[in-house]
Structure 1
Amino acid sequence: MNEEKQPRSDRNDTYTHNIVKSNERSLDRRGFMKTLVGAAGLFAVSTLPWGAMAAQKLLHGEAGEQPRQKIAEVAALRAGDAKEFAYPGTHDSALLVCVREGEYKAYQNACTHLKCPVFWSKENHELLCPCHHGKFDVETGNPLAGPPRRPLPEIELAVEHGVIYAIGVKPYEA
Structure 2
Amino acid sequence: MDEQQKKNNNRVPFDEDNYTHNIHKQNERSLDRRSFMKLMVGAAGVFAVSTLPWGTIAARELTGLRSKQYEAAKVADISAVKVGDAIEFAYPGEHDSALLIRLGENEYKAYQNACTHLKCPVYWSKEQGEMLCPCHHGVFDVKTGAPTAGPPRRPLPEIVLKQEQGAIFATGVKRYDT
Q: TM-score range by the shorter chain?
A: 0.7 to 0.9
Q: Residue 68 of structure 1 corresponds to which residue in structure 2? A: 72
Residue number among 32, 36, 43 corresponding to 1:32 in the alignment: 36
Cα drift, residue 36 of structure 1: 2.3
Q: Which amino acid aligns with 2:90?
A: A
Q: Report how far residue 117 of structure 1 moved.
A: 1.2
CA distance in 2, matches of 1:131, 1:45: 41
Number of residue pairs the alignment of both structures matches? 170
Mean Cα deviation higher: 20-29 or 154-163:
20-29
1:46 matched to 2:50? The reply is: yes
2:93 maps to which residue? 89
Q: Which runs of 5+ in 2 are unaligned?
A: none
Question: Structure 1 pair 125/64, CA: closer, same or farther in 2 (3 Å)?
Answer: closer
Alpha-carbon deviation of 1:38?
2.4
Given the two structures, how large is their TM-score scaled by the length of structure 2?
0.82
Question: 2:42 aligned with 1:9, yes or no?
Answer: no
Report if the CA contact (8 A) 1:58-1:171 is conserved: no
Counterpart in 2 of 1:145? 149
**2:159 is the counterpart of 1:155:** yes
* 1:126 has 2:130 as partner: yes
**Identical pairs, percent:** 64
Q: Hey, what does 1:101 align to over in structure 2?
A: 105
Structure 1 pair 102/47, CA: closer, same or farther in 2 (3 Å)? same
Retained in 1: the 8 A contact 2:145–2:157? yes
Tell me, in whole angstroms, the C-alpha distance in 2 between the residues paired with 1:60 and 1:8.
74
Among candidates 161, 166, 169, match of residue 170 of structure 2: 166
3-state secondary structure, aligned to 1:56: helix
SS at match of 1:22: coil
- Distance of aligned partners of 1:93 and 1:57 in 2 relative to their CA distance in 1, 3 Å threshold: same
Offset, 1:101: 2.0
Q: Cα–Cα, structure 1 residues 61 and 144, in superposed 2: closer, same or farther, change >3 Å?
A: farther
Shift of the 87–125 alpha-carbon distance from structure 1 to 2, 3 Å rule, reads same
Question: Do the aligned residues in 1 keep the contact of 2:109 with 2:143 (CA within 8 Å)?
Answer: yes
Q: Which moved more, 1:135-144 or 1:38-47?
A: 38-47
What's the TM-score once normalised by structure 1's chain length? 0.84
Structure 1 unaligned residues grouped into runs of 5+: none
Q: Which structure is richer in relative contact order (CA contacts within 8 A, separation 6 or more)?
A: 1
Q: Describe the shift of the 1:131–1:32 C-alpha distance in structure 2 as closer, same or farther (beyond 3 A).
A: farther
One-letter amino acid of the structure 2 residue matched with residue 8 of structure 1: P
User: Secondary structure of the residue that 2:51 maps to in structure 1?
Assistant: helix
Larger CA deviation: 55-64 vs 69-78? 55-64
